[in-house]
Structure 1
């Protein structure tokens, strides 16, 4: 049986990332013992997220929503152009009024929670990890497996780009822009890692409320799934 607490204890956010955004917090949620679920069981939650995004966009342009605006600033800090490579929260919020994607139960779940609580969330297959997760500024020679033009390719991030990685390569580029294929959640995933990203003005209470909502719904996707969580904050803040 996997020791989730030990796995999370090995997670690390590099000081160079906190230098970009001293207010950054990563809340990691690890879960084991999930049942294999193919088609989405989260239609009601997705529909609620779509309605919520629609209501937000009736009162404010998407790039002026508080947490999306904060992530746009964070992207500019490491040289990314947020109008070209949108953080995952912005991409989903823009898409939600016309319908969020239906992929699989786990992915649909965290996408819905992301929109409802207005924070970027990434989901990874824990069984496909090689070593613990680390958030670093890339050297530029790391491997990132993705799809381009319908073909499988291996790319490298830009030097200085903020990336999540493990011992085998990059798992997510540009902080929370695009996830790699190797650790993508699948219909038969039984263990998962969820990364909830927060910047000011999001509070720790709001961040934990999003994690509570996620864990509550995860509890319905297995007979008795085990979960653990860890909040990583700036040690110099």
Structure 2
């Protein structure tokens, strides 16, 4: 992989977008998630994830894209919904567990991608419909034309419906050595919140390269 960016068309339709990106080449065997889970629990006290401004902004975006927010939830909403009901965070992989916990604390979707599985550049853009998406069940799907995907130069879709679901192809697993972490927000205080989220991950991870992107500087070089 060489670069990560959002397409000009996506910036035009969602000028409020604030992406934070980190390139990580090493991680620990485990992280202390207590602080982040306690923050998520406090934020959900007496309310639901759907009332949080970060989630409401994504619901508006999904509606703008022609998707039903109750049918397709952004990743942070899905995590918080499960956490509110079960009070636990399933453990998958140390870096995924960390990013999921931080995602819930900030209510901001965070994607974690295995860089070795990405071919060439990666762009968040509207799908043509020819891209191929590998499900976790091993099936190949083609996104709908106009759907927002994370697409690489080989036409592989590494996420569908923007922040709704990642691909099984670039999922982090045992043996993963280098990852790309992408946090995206659309709410009113997104600029300061994404900056704080990225700073939090920088403190937890070992010397990552990080950047906050915008419409004027939309590209992150790996």
So what's the TM-score if we normalise by structure 1?
Answer: 0.84
- What's 2:214 paired with? 233
Deviation at 1:62, TM superposition (A): 1.8
2:132 corresponds to 1:146: no
1:59 to 38, 41, 46: 46
Q: Partners of 2:121 and 2:212 in 1: how far apart? A: 15
Partner SS, residue 233 of structure 1 = coil
- State the 1:36 CA deviation: 7.6
Q: CA RMSD in A?
A: 1.9
2:28 touches 2:94 (CA, 8 Å); kept in 1? no
Give deviations 1:176-219, integer Å, cap 9, x for gaps: 11111111111221111000101122332221111111121112
SS at match of 1:11: strand
SS in 2 for 1:216: helix
- Alignment partner, residue 192 of structure 1: 179
| Structure 1 position 109, deviation (Å) | 0.8
Residue among 164, 174, 178 paired with 2:150:
164
**Between Structure 1 and Structure 2, how many residues are aligned?**
214
Residue 11 (1) aligns with residue 4 (2): yes
1:108 maps to which of 81, 97, 104: 97
CA contact (8 A) 1:20 1:78 kept: no
Number of the residue aligned with 2:220: none
Residue deviations 1:101-146, cap 9 Å, x none? 1101011011011111221100001122111210100111210000
- How many Å separate the matches in 1 of 2:170 and 2:64? 27
- CA drift at 1:54: 2.5
In 2, Cα distance between the equivalents of 1:172 and 1:183?
9
Aligned counterpart in structure 2 of residue 29 of structure 1, from 15, 22, 25: 22
Rounded to whole Å, the distance in 1 between the matches of 2:141 and 2:83 is: 29
CA–CA distance in 2 between the matches of 1:64 and 1:35?
33
Shift of 1:77: 1.1
